[in-house]
Amino acid sequence: MDKEPRISISVTVNGALVEAEAPARESLADFLRHRVGLTGTHVGCEQGICGACTVRFDGRIARSCLTLAAQAHGHSIETIEGVTDSGEIADLQEAFLRHNAAQCGFCTPGMLITAAEFLNSGETARRESIRQFLSGNYCRCTGYHAIVDAIAEIAGKKADA
């Protein structure tokens, strides 16, 4: 195969329509980072293990390294930039800061997007269930404790509300 097969992609990213042509083999992660310029989605392994590239695909978390950009055609993608600008996870972000739950920051966007799905899932906010839900997201810096604290705090507030 000499020529690079390319494909037209029309995708909603953080509420705005993006139309682009990309190599068929391009991952959604690379598409978002290098074609759309949204570098808050990080690539830690490209093997679907570390969770740093977690985004929302039609409202549900997905690994953008295990999704082709072509597969996002006609769908809606949300990234850390989108959920930051919308204010949707502002309380969670502040809790992460209060609890010092971000160190190097590389896992943080994926961690936050995963945590937001946990908070929306209606799961009970026991530390154990938070830990289990976060199991697909590596953090090599914090030891996880502060991340669990931050999510538990917001989950507790939601439950009280």
Partner 1 sequence: MPDPFVIDPGLARLSARKFVQGRGRYLDDITLTGMLHVCFVRSPYAHAKIAGIDTSAAREVGGVSHVITGRDLAPVCRPWTAQLTNLGEMKTAPQSALPVETVKWQGEPVAAVVASSRAVAEDAAELVEVDYEELPAVVDPEAALKPDAPLVHPDLGTNVAWSINIDTGEVDAALAGSDVVIEKTFSVDRQTGVTLEPRGAIADYDPAKCYLTIHLTSQVPHIQRYIYARQLGLNEANVRIICPDIGGGFGLKLHVYSDEIATAAISMLIRRPVKFTADRLESFVSDIHARGHRVSARIGVNNDGKIQALEVNDLAGAGPFLIHPRTSVIEPLLVAICTPLAYDLKHYRAGASLVYQNKVSTGQYRGVGMPVASLVAEGLVDAAARATGLDKAEIRKRNLFRDDAYPVTGISGEYLECLSQQASLDKLLKMMDYGRLQEERDAGRDKGIYKGIGLATVVEGTSPSPALYAAGGAPISSRDACTLRLEAGGNISCATGLTDQGQGGEAVVTQVIADVIGIPSNEINIVMGDTATTPFGGGTWASRSTAIAGEACLLAATEMREKILEVAAAIHEQPADILTIRAGEIFNLETNEKVSSLAEIGKTVHFNTHTLPAEFEPELIVTRHYSQREQLMVYANCALGVSLEVDVNTGLVTLHKIWAVDDCGRIINEKLVVEQMRGSIVQGIGSSLYEECIYDETGQLLNGNMFEYLLPMAGEMPDIECDHIETPTKATQLGAKGCGEAGIIAVCGAIMNGINDALEPFGVEVSSQPFTPEKILRALGKIV
Partner 2 sequence: MKPAKFNYVRAGSVDQVLDLLEQPAGFVKILAGGQSLNPTLNMRLSAPDMLIDINDLDELRGIRVEEDRLHVGALTRHAELERSELVAGHAPLLTKAIQHVAHAAVRNRGTIGGNVSLADPASELPACCVALDASITIRNKQGTRVVRARDYFKDLYETDLQENDLMISISFPLAGDTTVCAFREFVRRRGDFASTGLVVNAELVDGVFTSFSPVFFAVANTPVLAAGVAQLLVNRTITGEVVEQAVAAVDHDVEITGDSNMSEEMKRHLAGHYLREVIGELYG
Task: Report residue 154 as tokens.
Answer: 């917001």
Is 139 near partner 1 (CB under 8 A)?
A: yes
For residue 133, state whether it binds partner 2 (rule: CB under 8 A). yes
> Distance (Å, rounded) from C-alpha 8 to C-alpha 73?
8
- d(CA 108, CA 123) in angstroms, rounded, equals 21
Q: Indicate which single residue of 9, 11, 13, 40 sits in contact with partner 1 (rule: CB under 8 A).
A: 40
User: Under rule CB under 8 A, which residues in 45-64 are in contact with partner 1?
Assistant: 45-47, 49-50, 52
3-state secondary structure 64-115: HHHCEHHHHCCCEEECHHHHHHCCCCHHHHHHHHHCCCCCCCCCHHHHHHHH
Residues 81-120, interacting with partner 1 (CB under 8 A): 81, 84, 93, 96-100, 102-109, 112
108 binds partner 2 (CB under 8 A): no
By DSSP bridging, strand 16-23 and strand 60-63 are unpaired
Tell whether residue 148 is a contact of partner 1 (CB under 8 A): yes
Stretch that binds partner 2, among 12-20, 78-86, 113-121, 143-151 (CB under 8 A): 113-121
What is the rounded distance in angstroms from the CA atom of residue 41 to the CA atom of residue 122?
Answer: 25
Name the segment binding partner 2 (CB under 8 A); options: 40-48, 98-106, 139-147, 151-159.
40-48
Which entry of partner 2, partner 1, none binds 7, CB below 5 to 8 A by partner kind?
Answer: partner 2
CB environment 120-159: b (16+ within 10 A), e (fewer):
eeeeebeeeebeebbeebbbeebebebbbbbbbbbbeeee
Which residues bind to partner 2, rule: CB under 8 A? Answer: 1, 4-5, 7, 23-27, 30, 46-48, 51, 54, 57, 60-63, 65-68, 70-71, 73, 114, 117-118, 132-133, 135-137
